[in-house]
Amino acid sequence: MIISDIPGHREQMGEAALYFDMVSADELAQKMMTTLLELEELSRSIRAQKELKVDIVSRSYIDDITKIFEELKRIIKAAGS
């Protein structure tokens, strides 16, 4: 994955992406060529993305969000009583 080098992307993707300066078309082109021509870099990126996916799925965001909404419903119900 090749994405712009902004803090939010780095926070979300860590080492699972190649980053480029979003105002540099040349740097984007260089990252694209690196990905296409350097098999080891491509393999590293794919491995890192798979590891990131496992980490994200294991965090169980859906359960956390469900708990937040259940708590919010409880608060709204209590306020209406």
Burial (CB < 10 A; 0-12, 13-18, 19+), residue 36, is exposed
Q: Is residue 55's pLDDT more than 80?
A: no
Distance CA 4, CA 26 (A): 13
Mean pLDDT confidence for 20-34 = 92
Q: What is the mean pLDDT of the chain?
A: 83
Distance CA 24, CA 9 (A): 17
- Residue of 38, 32, 37 lying closest to 18 (CA atoms): 32
DSSP 49-64: HHHHHHHHHHT-HHHH
Please write the tens of the pLDDT for every residue from 58-68. 666 677 778 88
